Amino acid sequence: MHVEKGASNVYADLDTPDADAMQRKAMLVVRISDVISTKALGLAQALALMGIEAFCLEAWLKGHFRDADETVLHACLHHLEIQRD
């Protein structure tokens, strides 16, 4: 079996359009998920803090963030991070 080392961006390895943007969005979604878990936030709490609808967060966490606005992802992460434990 031949194994080839890839780049640091899996989206670039897969020739995905807008690979850099997809990588940034993926990292933002991972961070959002981590903060929600670390702070033990329930779905309702997380949604209230971020000001988004449940279908958005659920889609992002399932990997459906191609059409997500990077600015919105940043804002959501910011709102979660400034919330005191």
Range of the domain at 64: 37-85
pTM: 0.87
Domain count, the chain: 1
Residue 63 counted as domain residue: yes
16 within some domain: no
Residue 19 near residue 7 (C-beta atoms within 8 A): no
Structure tokens at 45: 């709490």
- 15 compared with 29, residue with greater pLDDT: 29
Q: Which residues contact 47 (CB under 8 A, 6 or more apart)?
A: 53, 54, 57
% of the chain surpassing 90 pLDDT: 78
52-55 own/partner pairs: CB under 8 Å, 24+ apart? 52/76
pLDDT value of position 85: 61
Q: Which of 63, 48, 57, 61 is nearest to 16 (CA)?
A: 63
In-domain check, residue 85 = yes
Residue 43 has what DSSP assignment? H
pLDDT in tens, 47-62: 999 999 999 999 999 9
